[in-house]
Structures are given as structure tokens and as C-alpha cells.
Chains A and B, each alone.
Chain A
Amino acid sequence: MNLHLFVPCDAGALAVGADEVAHALHSAALERGITLDIVRTGSRGLYWLEPLVELATPEGRIGFGPVTSADAASLLDAIVSNGPHALRLGLTEEIPWLKRQTRLTFARCGIIDPLSLTDYRAHGGYKGLERALTLPPDAIIAEVTASGLRGRGGAGFPTGVKWKTVAQTAADRKFVICNADEGDSGTFADRMLMEGDPFVLIEGMTIAGIAVGATKGYIYTRSEYPHAIATMTKAIAIARQDGLLGDRIAGSNFTFDLEVRTGAGAYVCGEETALMESIEGRRGLVRAKPPLPAHHGLFGKPTVVNNLLSFSAIPFILDQGAKAYADFGMGRSRGTMPIQIAGNVRFGGLFETAFGITLGDLVDEIGGGTLTGRPVRAVQVGGPLGAYFPRALFDTPFDYEAFAARDGLIGHGGIVVFDDSVDMAKQARFAMEFCAIESCGKCTPCRIGSTRGAETIARIQRGDRVPENIALVEDLCNTLKLGSLCALGGFTSYPVMSALKYFREDFGPQQPRLQAAE
């Protein structure tokens, strides 16, 4: 008997035993005389079901999860006898959590072999580049502009406008940089895509290079992501071998090549100018803007710096057209956003959907509330620099402007759920401490303000002159917000101010807390 199974090799699946499961399946198959073919894929993003094992059938893939190595034997027996199994989930595509998503950027992730160009092409890959090569560069940029795509790193700047600026700036060399320095806690979309569908990023960056006239691209990612680095590096070599990178891409007259650069544990290098300093081999000090990177970027040359999710949306836009993308979303937030639901949550994972879904739907309905079963008290949206939202704001739609209007940000699309055991003064202090650890030190508000902020919140926690110290923290937050050179110092005020505004009762002499979630 021949069986065709899929087991993820995504880091999130590996961390919960996917390799052990694959190994146990092989051993169990050997004992049973079954010929087993296991394809290692990325993750579907339904992390509470990882390791998720899928079986190829004529009707589609049938999922089983979460599988442990101890389940391998019974799972094969159930498959062979066509019998029931406690972990059987039915057709994966029919799982409501997956079915109600709109997967444009993540269309292939978890389905294909990440390093198979054949698989990638069979699932629509490289059609975007094919079309881009039939268009003049300004028409490519017009298409991106018309799609309404905005920077998925958090700032939400229109991607087409950025590209146009670089295209119109004359220089002997230009660069394209992918910011894959995904440092925000609660985010993992970049990692998933690099591990699960690396060619979509290569294709998106190649299109960008052609559009703006750049011949070299860098993918700057984190040392905390060794699996993503390995997969991305292999994918680049494969694309090069296949003539999709290097001279005369896909038989055209364009030249474009890519290189992966690894950071070294500095959060601030996710800020685009610090990132460029880091690639240039220097301390990750933020540069003052202007000049904009589009005029004066990497090695002083015009540079497009986009988030990984922005580049990865490009192949769809070029293949299906700007309108197909812009038809999704609300207001000025067009297309889809890969939202990451994490922390103390029952159904955590990657949920790609059109902008406009409310925070409450994401947390309660899709996330299923907390894993501990206690009430949700706060959710932090947008990473360590994002605001903490109380339940009262759960009607906020997921949209750049709607979050900004409520003194928050969607950032890179991460949502971290906390239950009622959370101490919000502690979280506010952590935000200041994190800023102090990660500050590049160039500007005073961030370098000194963060340390002073952490000290002052500690005094509040001890019950030391609480009203005066709260006023001091608020004043400090304003200084950080208005006086910092970049978003690290500037946005540290969001988690602190939101904690103070919505959870004021936590700021004072520390009460004996509820048992911490475990």
C-alpha cells in the first residue's frame, strides 16, 4: 500500500514535535509494510492543531491533529482500515477556521513543498513575474499603486508611491530590501512564509527590482529564525539555478539577484534606516529622515525598503490585477492582512482576511478566547509598541485608520491575548524596559526616557507618590512620542499610555495578584 502524507517543517510545528512525528510515521509504516511518501510543507497556520498531519486523497487532504509520535501507529492503522480516529479533522480545507479566511498571500503556505519550483508553479507561482515582464516598469508601478497596497510593516505607506520615487531617482545602482526583521512578539507571518513559501517573496522582490531598476536585493532577517534563513537561502540558490535570479531573468534583459543578511539580536534593526546601517556593517543606529531611503538609502543609493508581507502580496496583484486585490478591504486599507493571533488563546495562528473584521471577532470568535479559560482582559495589538485594548474597544475594525483613531496601531498584524491574571502596570513597565534594552541610543528621549519610565513605574508599583508619578510617566510618554527619532521610542508610549488609560486600577501599591496563567 502507498500513502502520501504531508507533515510541516515549519519552526512552530517543529517546536511541538513535527520531526519526531514524521520519524515515528516512517517507523510505523516500515513495520506495516506500507510505502510512505512524506512531503514536508510549511504550516497551514492552525497552530493549536500542530503537528498537523495531512493525507492526500482524491477528495482533498484529510487532516489529523495535533499528532504526537505516540499516535503514529494508530493513525496509520486508521488510515489503512479507513476507520475513525480521535484526531481526524476531516478535509483540512473545510475546517471553518481555515475556510473563512481569504488567503491571497498565504495561498500556498502549508500546501506545497517550499523548495519545489514545480510545486510553486503548479499553484500559480511566477505568473505575476510573467505578466510583469510584458509590461513597461511604470505600468507595473501603476498596477501596484492601483491595488491600494500599503506597507505591511506597520507604517502603512502606499507601496506604489515608494516604488515610483525610487524609479524616478537616477543612480548608477539601486537596491531593494525586504524587511524580514520580524521582532514583534505575537508576529510570525514572515517566518511562516519564508519557511513555507519562499519563492513568493523572491518573485515579489524580483518584480520590485524590475519596476524600480534595481539589480540587487537584500532580505534582512533575524538570527532568531534559523529555519527561515536556511529555507530562504536554499530557495535563492534554486531560483538562481533555474535562471529566475541573476543575469537575464527568465530570458529577459533584466538582472536581479538576492542575498540573505542576518541580524544579531537588535530589535531596532527592524526600523528601516537602522536596518540599512546594519547591512552596511555598522551599529544599528537610526538615521534622521530626510533624506528618505527612496532617495538616499543603502550605500547611499535609492532603495525600496518594504516589509516581507508587502513584497509577498505583489505576485498576486500582478497576476490577478490590481482590482482583484483592491476589491477586498475597507476605507483606505485595501486587500488582505495576514493577522497573527497569539499568546493566551485557544485557537492561535495565522488568519489572513480582508481588512475590516473587528478585534472582538478576532479574539473571541476566531481565537476562541483564552487557553486558560479565564476572561480576556487585554489584547496587545501590533507588537511591543502597540496599544493594549480592553474589551470596551473590541468593536474596533482591523484597519490602519480605525486603530490610529483609538491611539493604537495594527503594526505587523500581531494580536497577543491576555487573561484577567495580567498585571497591566507590569506590562507597562516591561514596555519601558524593552525600549531601554533595545534603544539604539542615538536620541535622548528613547535612550534615557525609557530607563526613567521603567524606574518611575516601579515606584508607582511600590505605592510611592502614585498620582505624581503617574503624571510624570504621562509626561515622559509625551516626550517619547513627540521627541524620539524613530518609532521605537515614539511608539513605546502606546502600550504605556493605553495601560494607564484603560487599566488605571493596576497602577498603585501592588495587590496580591491572581495566580498567574500557566
Chain B
Amino acid sequence: MTPVYETWEAARGAQIIAEHSKVEGATLVILHALQEAFGYVPEDALPMVATALNLSRAEVYGVFTFYHDFRARPAGRHVLKLCRAEACQAAGGDALAARAEAKLGISIGNTTPDERVTLEPIYCLGLCATAPSAMLDGRLVGRLDNARIDALVSEAQR
């Protein structure tokens, strides 16, 4: 299922920030909520978070850039995350990752030029006994083989 996100509007952003700003240590909670709503964390939102939490812009920017999850711009329509950690490596994950890269014509960490698919590494989905595994827009898939990775890539390209 294609995730549907709202278009960034400062008023909506302010509302989301206000909903969570009373939480103790709210920065990550707010960044998660913004990304969930808009699909990324718009640059304009960062100073708003800083003001709401009485932090410097630099502090909020520092948090935003520290964590791998947060995006500065929207991802492709579909996000395919391939587990690149040891258990999946042991089960043949490297070859499958290369196959997905070849099929999509991009290397891991990039988005296809038509902005349909973002291919990302993930370090462990906790599906290590049904490896190799992947996640397509939040849906988990284990026991990947050539046929399954091909199907996943095709699904993401649609």
C-alpha cells in the first residue's frame, strides 16, 4: 500500500509540535510525529521545534541529523528496506541486495529517477531466523530468494 502523507503546512506542523511538546525530552517524539505526518521532516519545522522546546536551532538540527531514520526530503513513493546485517548476510543477503540494485538501476541509499522507489539499508529487522528479510512500506517479508526479491522490486515499481 502506498503511504499517503500530508503536504507541509506550517500551521499543521505547529499543531503537531504543540501536541507533543509537553512530553519530557520531546525532541525525538516530535521529529517522529512530523515525519509520520509529512513523510519527512521539513527544514522549516526545525526552528519551530527549537522555539517550542526552548532549545537552540543547532541542538534540534544536531538531533535531526544524528538519527538515520529522519529524512530531510520526501522518499520515493515506495521505500524498500533490505536488511544488510550479519544474519541476512549469512543467508545470502548480499547477492539479493546486488540483484535489487541491478533491477532498479540504483545503488542502496538512493531513489530511482522517476521517484518511485527508494532503496535503503536497514540493520536488522529482528527476523534473523527467517533471513534474508526486507520491509516494503512497513510490510515485512522474510525468506527472500531471487523470485521473492524480484516480486518485491516489481511491486515497488508499480
Contact = CB atoms under 8 A, between A and B. Distances in A.
A186 B53 CA distance: 38
Interface stretch (B2-10, B84-92, B110-118): B84-92
Nearest to A43: B129
Given A283-B62, A518-B92, A340 B128 contact: yes
A344 B69 CA distance: 28
Interface string A339-365: 011111100111000000000000000
Contacts, number: 159
Interface in B25-82: 25-29, 31-32, 53, 59, 62-63, 66-70
A205 B68 CA distance: 29
Nearest to A278: B28
Contact residue range for chain B? 35 or more
A410 interface: no
Contacts of A186: 85-87, 128
Nearest to B134: A15
B146 interface: yes
B128 A223 contact: no
A315 interface: no
A518 B145 contact: yes
A185 B62 contact: no
Contacts of B92: 344, 516-518
Interface string A163-192: 000000000000000000011111110110
A371 B141 contact: no
A262 interface: yes
Contact of A261 (B28, B70, B90, B124): B28
Contacts of B90: 342-344, 416-419, 422, 517
Contacts of A350: 129
Contacts of A188: 126-129
Given A15-B141, A266-B68, A416 B62 contact: no
A498 interface: no
Contact of B27 (A187, A263, A282, A434): A282
B116 to A, nearest CB: 23
B86 A182 contact: no
B125 A224 contact: yes
Contact of A187 (B126, B142, B146): B126
Contacts of A14: 140
B129 A224 contact: no
B124 A224 contact: yes
A312 to B, nearest CB: 16
B67 A284 contact: yes
A348 B126 contact: no
Interface string B9-33: 0000000000000001111110110
Contacts of A342: 87, 90, 128-129, 131
A272 interface: no
B130 interface: yes
A280 interface: yes
B156 to A, nearest CB: 16
B91 A517 contact: yes
Interface in A44-78: 47-48, 50
Contacts of A384: 85-86
Contacts of A91: none
Contacts of A12: 126-127, 129-130, 142
Nearest to A194: B126
B28 A262 contact: yes
A16 B130 contact: yes
A414 interface: yes
6 contacts: A186-B86, A264-B67, A265-B68, A348-B130, A416-B87, A518-B92
CB-CB nearest 8 A-B residue pairs? A348-B129, A185-B85, A281-B27, A342-B128, A343-B90, A264-B67, A15-B142, A265-B68
Interface of B: 24-29, 31-32, 53, 59, 62-63, 66-70, 85-92, 94-96, 122-131, 133, 138, 140-143, 145-146
Given A12-B142, A344-B90, A518-B146, 18 more contacts: A47-B130, A185-B88, A226-B138, A262-B28, A264-B70, A265-B122, A266-B67, A280-B25, A281-B29, A299-B25, A344-B91, A384-B85, A414-B87, A414-B128, A416-B90, A416-B128, A419-B90, A430-B89
